[in-house]
A and B are shown apart, each in its own frame.
Chain A
Amino acid sequence: MKNSTPPFVAHSFRTTEGNKTGSWRFLRPRYDEKTAPCAAACPAGEDIARIEMLTSQGLFKEAWETILMENPLPAVCGRVCLRPCESRCNRREFDEAIAIRAIERFLADTASRDELKPSLERFASRKQRIAVVGAGPSGLAAAFFLSRLGYGCDLFESAPEPGGVLRYGIPSYRLPAAILAAEIEQVAGSGFRLYCEKPVTKALFEQIGNDYDAVFLGCGRSRSVGLLIEGEEPGEVEDGFEFLRRINRGESPAFSNAQVAIIGGGNTAVDAARTVLRLGGKPVLIYRRRREDMPAFEEEISMALEEGVRLLELWTPLRMERKEGRYLLTLQQMRAFDTAPGQKSRVEPAEPRSTMELSVIHILKAVGLEAAEEWQNPPENSEKILRLSDSVLVRSPSIVIHGGDLASRIRSVSHAVASGKEAAIALDILFQKGPDEVLPGLESCRVGNGPALSLEMYMRGPRCARNPHVVVFDEINRDHFQFAARLVQPRLLAEERSRGFAEIDLRISAGLAMKEAERCFNCGLCNQCDNCRLYCPDLAVVRQTDSSARSIDYDYCKGCGICVVECPRNAMSLEKESAPRAQR
């Protein structure tokens, strides 16, 4: 055995790296981040997939800054937004939508508690100065975005405190005044100057039109729509919005268990009813259509009913009389027709006619608002006006942008933010590139298929490279996800709620927020899961040593496409190989 020669065995001594198997490829995978449906649905165009990713990693400040990039009011929107994002969330088709709004609120509250200061990108100073009229959500947003685009801004507010409809039109059980005040202070840190108790009259408006390079008008709507009931003296019936404003200013009328009628079906009507309840009255909400037709948020309606608000659907006031210090309200029953699912029904008096009488001590009407003064409304079409998605740009005699509730498609806080952003970007384009560039310039920073605009994209930030394609549910590789129940928002009990004005929705813990954010598919966004690298049969996906980004080594990638299919979130694409082959 000792001296025997081992048999000759051929012995390989070279690796296979010399085989440039990339030359086999006829399909080419590439990293291709896309747009999440939630982001495209968010009026403010927030980069929600990224916000959720950062939150799930515990990077709360970065997540909060990612919101602020597009929306200066997360503590507000995290409470009162109607969350169009959640209704488009891809996770809905899997189990339940991500609680995007609750996470937004968590991030804003955490930042405020920790007294964080955001570091947000801004452009160098511009010479133009802009006046913003109205410190409601659209005015605040316009001033915030204009400041970040480098403009000096003066913000004029007629009330003693800023916030507009947020301060005076939303009850504190939904939006506590202290939260709002802290957020506005944070927003003001972006550099504009705020002047309260400075009402802008028509004369002053004309003057600032000359003094400033442009004026943003975000005065909102505050005048009640007439609509007299038979027997009503003009000005006799209080408007719901006016009523909420009184309460938010500190009044607390006692209703001592008496019935109060509230006419209307929007959020103001529901808020007024719930406020009456908290002041000890017995609110009766009267709406001419069906409950499902009410424009108020469904969740708010059901909470109102839980608390004890009485709802009379399909009733409308016919006339009112005064009787022994009370009002006798005669209601007529209505019948709904044209009741296609998902659409507002139409109504007509029920046959046979039926009426009922209601004795109340107070009547509130919340059937709509209009601009306080006619000049605040955007002018009718003319050559010099440009109708944008949520604002109207007028260039003559001076540059004025009508925004917020005066010009938005939908009257909501997030649409007001959208309006302020649109106005800021439009003015920047107008000043820097001229009027013809406004529309194409706005187009170039739409999120997905629009209409939301992204400031990050406008400022050419890193996420502006994302593909406008909106990721659909079927493009998510669900094999990589497990069912997980949605966060249950902790709330005060109905009994606790009706006793006072304490905020109903309670805080969630950091742990809960992270757990909820982790449910997010991160549609279209690479979250560094590494699946593409893991499954590559050819070791052709390489991770950079300096960062966590990946790249494809086309010397070896055979174009099998496994990485693209196994990417759970459609952050890659597979295309026909077109470029001439690098190697043979």
Chain B
Amino acid sequence: MQLELPDRDYMFPGHVACPGCGAAVAMRFLLKALGEKTVMVIPACCWSIIAGAYPQSTLKIPVLHTAFETGGAVASGVRAALDMRGDTQTTVVAWAGDGGTFDIGFQALSGAVERNEDFIYVCYDNEAYMNTGIQRSSSTPYGAWTTTTPGRDWKKMRKKNIVEALVAHRIPYAATASIAYPEDLFRKVAKAKAIKGARFLHIFASCPTGWRIPSEISVKIARMAVQTNIFPLYEVEDGLRYTINFFPKGYLVKEYFRLQGRFKHLSEQDLDQIQTMVEEDWKLLRHKAGMS
């Protein structure tokens, strides 16, 4: 019954992520799939801390900590440097949060993808600026409480669709993945690794602290996001070919929202409206995948 996944880990215990951190699980999985010949660029985010304070590092691969807005640019530079040394084997990865991707790092990312730089950009999405204390980002979903969308001022804008923004660049490969679907995630990482040019992975990574959930349901909640179609699993090749990887059995978004403190203020009507929005998005995605 065991899943067929690589056994080796490229991470040490003793890192300082919160208990139940989805981003820690995401990193574990990514590196299992990529292996040792990987260089990673981490702009400011929770992972800058998780990796350990100087002189510690929790990863068994080289990591460059860089400025918040520079993930795409630094990764381009690292790739160029490796190329100059004739190293084409090593995979370069930019690993950034949603704030560092959707917001402040977006221009560097967009530029790199436009130039079709040869690296994998991974956004681990915990739907807010968690490291600095749960501020909303353009990835924060409609309806969420954050410290900058408090009380009745909960976020009333939709989450930015980052994969579509990258698809608009005709990126060779873009995919969503979730810590709750390790096999799908591994397959996508392996596929991305084999492609040359810019690649983008959007990994849904729960945050017990910022989402106000008990840590033990961290993976379960990520799975529910997929089961409810809030975070569909799909991939896009060459900015054209859409493949949906998982077809849920019609769980209601309510079930997902009910378990999280960050949504506890929402009324039944709000939830109904969110259900409608999720269905709209799903319909659109199916349409793009040629399924309607």
Contact = CB atoms under 8 A, between A and B. Distances in A.
Interface of A: 10-21, 24-25, 27, 56, 477, 479, 518, 527-530, 534-535, 537-540, 553, 555-556, 558-562, 564-566, 574
Interface stretch (B48-56, B101-109, B153-161): B48-56
Contact of A561 (B3, B52, B54, B216): B216
B214 interface: yes
A535 B5 CA distance: 12
Contacts of B208: 560
B16 interface: yes
A14 B57 contact: yes
Contact of B57 (A15, A21, A477, A556): A15
A540 B19 CA distance: 12
Nearest to A561: B216
Contact of A556 (B14, B20, B215): B14
A537 B57 contact: no
Contacts of A25: 19
B233 interface: no
A539 B11 contact: yes
> Nearest 8 CB-CB pairs, A to B?
A561-B216, A560-B20, A16-B14, A537-B24, A556-B13, A560-B19, A19-B14, A558-B19
A10, A21, A560, A566 — which one has the most chain B CB atoms within 10 A of its CB? A560
B182 interface: yes
Contacts of B54: 10, 12
Given A10-B54, A12-B52, A21 B218 contact: no
Scoring B3, B12, B16 by chain A CB atoms within 10 A of each residue's CB, the highest score goes to B12
B58 to A, nearest CB: 4
11 contacts: A12-B55, A17-B12, A17-B13, A19-B56, A21-B13, A24-B19, A537-B22, A558-B18, A560-B208, A562-B20, A562-B216
Contacts of A565: 216-217, 219-220
Given A16-B58, A538-B13, 7 more contacts: A10-B54, A14-B55, A19-B14, A19-B56, A539-B12, A561-B214, A566-B220
Contacts of B144: none
A241 B218 CA distance: 61
Contacts of A558: 18-20
Interface in B12-56: 12-22, 24-25, 28, 52, 54-56
B62 to A, nearest CB: 10
Contacts of A540: 13
A522 to B, nearest CB: 9
A18 B19 contact: no
A560 B14 contact: no
Nearest to A27: B216
Interface in B38-83: 52, 54-58
A561 B13 contact: no
Contacts of A535: 25, 179, 219
A569 to B, nearest CB: 10
A537 B25 contact: yes
Interface residues on B, range: 35 or more
Interface in B183-235: 208, 214-220, 223, 227
A16 B52 contact: yes
B57 A12 contact: yes
A530 B22 CA distance: 18
A14 B25 CA distance: 21
B219 A16 contact: no
Contacts of A539: 9, 11-13, 28
B14 A17 contact: yes
A16 B223 CA distance: 29
B177 to A, nearest CB: 15
B292 interface: no
B220 A537 contact: no
A18 B15 CA distance: 9
Interface in B207-265: 208, 214-220, 223, 227
B2 interface: yes
Contacts of A530: 2-3
B95 to A, nearest CB: 16
A560 B1 contact: no
A560 B218 contact: yes
Contacts of A553: 13
Contacts of A10: 54-55
Contact of A564 (B5, B16, B18, B216): B216
B14 A20 contact: yes
A464 to B, nearest CB: 25
Nearest to B223: A479
B2 A529 contact: yes
A397 to B, nearest CB: 57
Contacts of A16: 12-16, 52, 56-58
B232 to A, nearest CB: 17
Nearest to B50: A16
A561 B20 contact: yes
Contacts of A534: 3, 5, 182
A9 to B, nearest CB: 8
A168 B183 CA distance: 56
Interface in B160-184: 179-180, 182
A14 B215 CA distance: 28
Given A530-B3, A537-B17, A556-B13, A15 B219 contact: no
Contact of B28 (A11, A17, A537): A537
A376 B167 CA distance: 85
A142 B243 CA distance: 63
A16 B217 CA distance: 25
A560 B52 contact: no
A565 B220 CA distance: 8
